[in-house]
Chains A and B, each alone.
Chain A
Amino acid sequence: MEQEIKLRVSGIEKSFPGVKALSNIEFSVRKGTVHALCGENGAGKSTLMKIINGIYKPDKGQIFVDEKPVKIQSPIQARSYGIAMIAQELNYVPEMSVEENLFLGRLPVKKMGNVDWKLLRKKTEEFLKKEGLPYGASQKMKTLTVSDIQMLEIIKAISNDAQIIVMDEPTSAITQREVDTLFEKIAMLKEQGVSIIYISHKMDEVFQIADDITVLRDGAVVETHPASELDVDKVISLMVGRKMDNIYPKEPAQIGETLLEVKDLYSDGVFKDISFNVKKGEIIGFAGLVGAGRTEVMRAIFGLDSYTSGSIRKSGQEITIHKVADSIRNSIIMLSEDRRRYGIIPVRSVTENASIASLEKFIYGGYAHEKEERETVSQYFQKMNVKTPTMETAIQSLSGGNQQKVLLAKWMLRDPEILILDEPTRGIDVGAKYEIYKLMTEIAKDGKAVIMVSSELPELIGMCDRIYVMNQGKISGELKRSEFSQEAIMRFATGTR
């Protein structure tokens, strides 16, 4: 079938400082079809969609709607071209009512410019009734469940007479019944000639509804095919098919006794049946898609969140962890995935940021030994190759990679036995990544245990001795080094055995 092209992007490039997010993207969507976009985390899907929706400006390239070149500089402009986007993260005002949220930014007004509440109520109620949504117009948004909100967002986008709808992981928070409803709606929209760009990690969904599939990898289009010519295996191998470079300085370490053993860890509604262990000298990986529960497990072990039941043993001894101080006392540390939120204290100096978790080493005998503090910290900085103008520089003025190394130094100062590194290389440049890998290798050779959570499969495969894969709050597989392959990990991660 030869439908006309509704949306086409050509030669799109986008760079962020130090990172090339998209290069030379060619991509087109036919009228009245569902076009699925697949790729690993960080492949550039969301960036591309944000460009189409006018949130980012491309450095180069052109967007065509109905084969006419257009310039999209804001989401409002995108809307005027009939492009609507249902974002992965929901945007709504929790304290406002359903009707206000539904018509946010386009509330009906009377002549005098005051809001026409009656009309708003009438319109909203008609809409809710038509769509069969089970809540009232005046209900506060925050009283709705996440899946209710997601459905409302989807229906809101559809109701705007959009011609092109971008759906970024629309089913991540809704129930199976609602997924069915959504797919019915999508089918209906196709009938009406609406084009849909559908981003999802869930392969079964993709193959259920997609007409065409485009695979992105490392910011470039790998291939585009009609869905009928592809299967799950083929798509996964296209997604991960990058060549393994020799950028992982992994060296064999002496693997010793079990250091940490977690058994049947359970947290209500977050994760369950989590059992794993890590030995001295070992680097183990935790793979999984965003939202699989990896970070949540690690936060519980580190005492940032509580867990409902289960046991944690260190060198065979049962330990209880209620707060971070407990895990630090047991020589367990964690480098958080969200450096800005849980890591750095932006306005304080690099020295203070590094010493904050080991103050008893520098403040004793009634006063602060600042010289000793500076010298010790600076030794660790040298080891980690931290580049900072002075020891008093505020950490916020360093690059992401250097910030990360300062935070690693902060924990190394405590000489921990078990290190949990959550996305340790996220958002940092290649050189700094390599340095962090090297440090990990050295730490492991020192007889310590490293747990690395990462969404970058090559990094896990390159650095780990074993990999646990999580899917929907559970460990869905464990792989030995000899069994490592991106395909195998993705299978466990997407739950498609």
Chain B
Amino acid sequence: MNKQNNKNKIMEKYSIFIVLLIMIIICSMLNKNFLSTGNISNIMKQLAVATILAYGEMLLIISGMLDLSSGAVLAMAGVFSVSVYKSTGSLLVAFLVAILFGVICNLVNALMVTNFKTPPFIATLAMQMVARGIALLFTKGQNISQLGDYVVFGQGTIGPIPISIIFMAVITIIIWYILRHTRFGRSLYAIGGNEEAAIASGINVAKNKYVVFAINGILVGVAGVLFMSRVNAGLPNGAVGYEMEGLTAAIVGGTSFSGGVGTTLGTLAGAFIIGCLNNIMNLIGVDSYIQQIVKGVIIALAVIWDIHSKNKKTAKVILVEEKSEGK
């Protein structure tokens, strides 16, 4: 009956994937190497770190928060991991160390946000500075080189498939599962959608915030290992601004900055859109300054679109509110 309406809904739900598809088509026309297996695998390898960070940002934004510290914590956890590997020779221990420090930093974030009521923006900004400082202090500002077998995380393959892509795929499935199939995931949407209503529904908001930060910490730790091993060095000054890459992917992928809305696959698509954009601009030789401008414009458009579609939806609610005020 309401075909137009239905069509709009489908467009709204899948628009991000349609955008990605159109982009892939345009890219493949601009450069015939774009769709080659090598290039696609290349895009995905480059994307792995940003995508994993984007999932953490997505979970936080859905629940009404965000993390500005993930790039710095990534570097800190990364250099700790690298140096532990260099002294113990154990890949497992090195991997766990990265996760441990990622989680510790994020539990501090959670403490500030829930117990001390610090706005997440401020709390994680402070953590960004502290973590970067610790990374630089620990390495005395020097890069750690000669990582040996450590590079297997970022550069190795299992059969034909790069290990970093496997990490990305497995994490995608886990995050999708958490959001879609656990009570915790549902609670995050409720918390970000209306925290006070979540409390009044019996949801333990503080506990959930700790858990979501802890998950973010695990993701940042994994990203730290992948990043350092991909560049074959422990870079205390590495990954600057990577939290923005993550945030961008999440927002472009339809995660609403006002909380309560966002999907795993949307964020994945968002990451791919940015990855393809970077890749095609490199392939056809766009000036790197112009690349930044293009990326900035795309982010602005994504958010404008998000707010615009939300305004349409709330128009009706305002009427209802007026009504109750008039009573």
Contact = CB atoms under 8 A, between A and B. Distances in A.
A342 to B, nearest CB: 4
Contacts of A344: 194, 197
Interface residues of A, number: 48
A342 B196 contact: yes
B314 A396 contact: yes
A346 B193 contact: yes
Q: Which of A302, A323, A355, A359 is most buried by chain B, counting CB atoms within 10 A of its CB?
A: A359
Given A17-B319, A345-B190, A427-B327, A363 B182 contact: yes
A302 B320 CA distance: 27
B109 interface: no
Interface stretch (B81-89, B151-159, B199-207, B275-283): B199-207
Contact of A397 (B186, B203, B204, B316): B316
A383 to B, nearest CB: 20
B181 A304 contact: no
A356 B327 contact: no
B180 A368 contact: yes
Nearest to A43: B327
B3 to A, nearest CB: 14
Interface stretch (A139-147, A205-213, A242-250, A333-341): A333-341
B325 interface: yes
B190 A348 contact: yes
Interface residues of B, number: 39
Contact of B196 (A323, A341, A397, A400): A341
A385 interface: no
A25 to B, nearest CB: 14
B32 interface: no
Say whether chain B's binding surface is mostly helix, strand, loop, or mixed.
Answer: helix
Given A340-B321, A396-B313, A397-B316, A345 B193 contact: yes
Contacts of A340: 317, 321
Given A324-B199, A368-B180, A400 B324 contact: yes
B323 A396 contact: no
A346 B317 contact: yes
A324 B325 contact: no
A342 B310 CA distance: 20
Contacts of A427: 320, 323-325, 327
A8 interface: no
Contact of B203 (A21, A356, A366, A389): A356
A325 B202 contact: yes
Interface in B247-286: 256, 258, 260-261
A399 B320 contact: yes
Contacts of B104: none
Given A21-B326, A356-B186, A347 B200 contact: no
B322 interface: yes
Contact of A19 (B182, B183, B314, B323): B323
Nearest to B261: A347
Given A396-B314, A427-B324, A359 B319 contact: no
Interface in B140-191: 177, 180-183, 186-187, 189-190
B118 to A, nearest CB: 18
Nearest to B199: A324
Interface of B: 2, 177, 180-183, 186-187, 189-190, 193-194, 196-204, 256, 258, 260-261, 310, 313-314, 316-317, 319-327
Interface of A: 14-19, 21, 42, 47, 302, 304, 323-325, 328, 334, 336, 339-348, 352, 355-357, 359-360, 363, 366-368, 389, 394, 396-397, 399-400, 403, 410, 426-428
20 contacts: A14-B326, A16-B326, A304-B199, A324-B202, A328-B202, A339-B324, A342-B196, A342-B200, A344-B194, A345-B198, A345-B260, A348-B189, A352-B186, A356-B201, A359-B187, A399-B320, A403-B320, A426-B324, A427-B323, A427-B325
Given A16-B325, A345-B194, A347-B256, 15 more contacts: A17-B319, A304-B199, A340-B317, A342-B197, A343-B197, A345-B189, A346-B317, A347-B310, A348-B260, A359-B186, A397-B317, A399-B320, A400-B320, A400-B323, A410-B201
